Amino acid sequence: MKQINIGLLGLGNIGTGTYKVLETNRREIEEAAGASVQITKILEKDIDRPRDIDVPRERFVSDAEEIFSDPDIHIVIELLGGVEPAATLMERALCSGKHVVTANKAALAANFDRLMKAAKDHGVTLRFEASVGGGIPVLTPLTSCLRANKFTRILGIVNGTTNYILDKMTLEGLPYEEVLKDAQEKGFAEADPTADVEGIDAANKLSILMALMFNHYVHPDDIPTKGITDITKEDIEAAKKDGNLIKLIAYAEVMEDGEIKYEVRPMRIIETHPLGGVHREYNAVFVEGNVVGNLMFYGPGAGPLPTGSAVMGDVIEIVKAM
Amino acid sequence: MKQINIGLLGLGNIGTGTYKVLETNRREIEEAAGASVQITKILEKDIDRPRDIDVPRERFVSDAEEIFSDPDIHIVIELLGGVEPAATLMERALCSGKHVVTANKAALAANFDRLMKAAKDHGVTLRFEASVGGGIPVLTPLTSCLRANKFTRILGIVNGTTNYILDKMTLEGLPYEEVLKDAQEKGFAEADPTADVEGIDAANKLSILMALMFNHYVHPDDIPTKGITDITKEDIEAAKKDGNLIKLIAYAEVMEDGEIKYEVRPMRIIETHPLGGVHREYNAVFVEGNVVGNLMFYGPGAGPLPTGSAVMGDVIEIVKAM
């Protein structure tokens, strides 16, 4: 059996989850890939951080070039998060002839065309299923099973933190500040929740969805974006009275004249809509295609193991195509 | 641009829908496939049946061998429905070196191993995304994006007719017989509804799901199956009082000792469960993977255009891999 070697950039929460997915389901992954799969080098400064996995110390490197220049490494998994240095490192990896898998929506959305071009120019693959919807298969079905469609609409609940907060405000009648604090304590919101609650994370994901579904790339900074910080329990009560829920929606639609409308903002969704059943930190992407009609993909939009599941799914697809 | 020629078996409702999808979205399909795609021969006796598509008469053939022996035909799409002669014709096509795409769950579930073996032995591809969940991408994501999982559970609403009937009984408090008649008038139920209301169609789909997800093939006749004909409006009322809905569920689960439990029967689902939001004739497949957690795929489980969308999606994948 041939051996596939992976260089991993970042062993934080998501990196550790991905490592764990490979350890836990190694047999299934290697059978599906038709190859032995090893993470042989890891770029990470914080070697001694407590993790419940057992990583041999000699796998850690302090310079990403050690990975890019290693002729035995076939695939680079980028899980650093944030735009830089992640985007530059991904570009370096692609230009060094490595296939790249990433879960990093911020780096990807801000550099979509540049990274896609680098992959194409160097004859390698860039996959990023985990970047939208975490563990939920979204991007792959949209670009394979559903390719016989013209897509007309996207309504996405693509940020778990804000859905958790709005759902709890709705079910328990609590004010925003109190629920945010609870979400932070439970690990559903970061200490600095700005990127989530201001809708920035959702805009990154909408940018990626639009690029793939409408072949129309818009930089996330150019997507009109409003977060949930102004939503009061009175707003939610008023919506409820009309049979509606308030959800943070990443929305895009192709108008009859071909113009594309897009924005991220809190919207009223009728309770019986499939998106109305998306509770807690779950995500869902509801799309409309001109021949298939309405579809929804639902599941865990974040978390180390679900994200690791999607990352390793991308790795399997790359190995199968090699 | 290379040309891909297709032989189509059956130009009934689903065949006509598939033909229409290709005509409507030809540009998108050919761009995605990287080839010109033509349906050059069609096996169909009823040439003069009214269809709102324009098919040149010379494309009709009366003998399937004219398709299988044509060296210019690369792909056979089987949309005859029913077990025979569909299964035998698919096997003949595979043995003639044609790739096969089918939406036929009955023929596939009854002959799964035989057809998969024929494809493998002759170095061709058999794809069948449309056979479970109609237009919803289910089988492809389960066998690609999610391959890094061990699957542990399936709960599927995989029959639109029975979901339409149970949903209407629930929402309007009507008895089974009355709703069945309404479903027949609206085209959501066949004149002979046996395969749907007795759970046979759902058992076919569960057989296919289990074969792919658990690598464990069970003939649909060997799946304990109970339909919805005994469900009374009183049963539904009683469930409602406990916050439950009655849904026809295709269920399978891997127990702790590795044993697999499976059956098709009406089950109580708590209203707030994602499957509780599946109304009308819609389908949904809810699955659990050991690293990803819970996921749901929702959308139109039948119909000519949604099914045609999935069939043409399979065609695109085959052409891309050729």
CB contact under 8 A, A24 and B312: no
- Looking at the structure, do residues A118 and A179 belong to the same domain, yes or no? no
Which residue's entry shows tokens 């709705």?
A170
Question: Is 90 exceeded by the pLDDT of residue B194?
Answer: yes
Q: How far is B191 from chain A (nearest CA, A)?
A: 25
Q: What is the CATH number of the domain that holds A62?
A: 3.40.50.720
pLDDT of residue A187: 87
| Structural domain boundaries, residue A122 | 3-135+304-321
Which residue's entry shows tokens 């490197």?
A61
- Find the catalytic residue in B98, B105, B205, B247: B205
Contacts of A303 in chain B (CB under 8 A): 293
Number of domains in chain B: 2
Beta strand pairing status for B282-289 and B293-300?
A: antiparallel
Give the span between the Cα atoms of B270 and A303, in whole angstroms.
25
**Distances A274 to B8, B132, B141, B296 between C-alpha atoms, Å:** 35, 20, 20, 11
Low-confidence residues of chain A: pLDDT under 50: none
Global ipTM: 0.95
Please choose, from the candidates A150, A145, A110, the residue with its C-alpha nearest in 3D space to the C-alpha of residue A128: A110
Phi and psi, residue A299, nearest 5°: 165, -165
Of A24, A32, A317, the CB nearest to B291: A24
CB contact under 8 A, B32 and A147: yes
Looking from the CA of B70 toward its CB, the CA atoms found within 13 Å total 21
- Looking at the structure, do residues B218 and B75 belong to the same domain, yes or no? no
Give the span between the Cα atoms of A160 and A185, in whole angstroms.
15
Mean of pLDDT over chain B = 97
- Looking at the structure, do residues B199 and B258 belong to the same domain, yes or no? yes
Which residue's entry shows tokens 């078996």?
B9
- Measured in whole angstroms, how far is the alpha carbon of residue B219 from the centre of its chain? 16
Return the residue in A21, A145, A170 with the most chain B beta carbons within 10 A, the one to mutate for interface testing: A145
Query: Any catalytic annotation for residue B247?
Result: no
Return the residue in B295, B305, B317 with the most chain A beta carbons within 10 A, the one to mutate for interface testing: B295
- Looking at the structure, do residues A171 and A255 belong to the same domain, yes or no? yes
| Residue B286 token pair | 């809810």
- Looking at the structure, do residues B154 and B193 belong to the same domain, yes or no? yes
Question: Is 90 exceeded by the pLDDT of residue B180?
Answer: yes
Give the span between the Cα atoms of A27 and B58, in whole angstroms.
52
Please choose, from the candidates A291, A272, A265, the residue with its C-alpha nearest in 3D space to the C-alpha of residue A155: A265
Among all residues of A, which ones are annotated catalytic? 205
Contacts of A140 in chain B (CB under 8 A): 140-141, 144-145
Of B291, B300, B310, the CB nearest to A308: B291
Please answer whether residues B184 and B193 qualify as being in contact, where contact means their C-beta atoms are separated by less than 8 angstroms.
yes
Give the span between the Cα atoms of B14 and B80, in whole angstroms.
9
pLDDT of residue A179: 96
Beta strand pairing status for A282-289 and A293-300?
A: antiparallel
Contacts of A29 in chain B (CB under 8 A): 147-148
Question: Is 90 exceeded by the pLDDT of residue B272?
Answer: no
- Looking at the structure, do residues A82 and A126 belong to the same domain, yes or no? yes
CB contact under 8 A, B140 and A136: no
- Looking at the structure, do residues B22 and B105 belong to the same domain, yes or no? yes
Question: Is 90 exceeded by the pLDDT of residue B208?
Answer: yes
Amino acid identity of residue B289, one-letter, is G
- Looking at the structure, do residues B151 and B254 belong to the same domain, yes or no? yes
- Looking at the structure, do residues B257 and B109 belong to the same domain, yes or no? no
- Looking at the structure, do residues B77 and B160 belong to the same domain, yes or no? no
Amino acid identity of residue B185, one-letter, is E
Give the span between the Cα atoms of B61 and B76, in whole angstroms.
14
Q: What is the CATH number of the domain that holds B196?
A: 3.30.360.10
Cβ neighbours, 10 Å, residue A53: 13
| Nearby residues of A95 by Cβ (< 8 Å), 6 or more positions away | A118, A121, A122
How confident is the model over B6-42, as pLDDT tens digits?
Answer: 999 999 999 999 999 999 999 999 999 999 999 999 9
Dihedral angle at the C-alpha atoms of B65, B84, B193, B238, nearest 10 degrees?
-130
- Looking at the structure, do residues A42 and A125 belong to the same domain, yes or no? yes
CB contact under 8 A, A310 and B295: no
Mean pLDDT of B258-274: 95
Helix (H) or strand (E) holding B263: strand B260-270
CB contact under 8 A, B313 and A144: yes
**Distances B78 to A57, B94, B192 between C-alpha atoms, Å:** 55, 11, 23
- Looking at the structure, do residues A229 and A148 belong to the same domain, yes or no? yes
Mean pLDDT of B223-252: 97
Please choose, from the candidates A312, A299, A304, the residue with its C-alpha nearest in 3D space to the C-alpha of residue A22: A312
CB contact under 8 A, A135 and B296: no
Of B141, B290, B310, the CB nearest to A137: B141
How confident is the model over B78-104, as pLDDT tens digits?
Answer: 999 999 999 999 999 999 999 999 999
Cβ neighbours, 10 Å, residue B288: 17
Q: How far is B223 from chain A (nearest CA, A)?
A: 26
Of A149, A273, A306, the CB nearest to B25: A149
Please answer whether residues A187 and A253 qualify as being in contact, where contact means their C-beta atoms are separated by less than 8 angstroms.
no
CB pairs under 8 A between A and B: 178
Contacts of B140 in chain A (CB under 8 A): 140-141, 144-145
Please answer whether residues B245 and B170 qualify as being in contact, where contact means their C-beta atoms are separated by less than 8 angstroms.
yes
Which residue's entry shows tokens 């809509």?
A273
Give the span between the Cα atoms of A120 and B254, in whole angstroms.
42
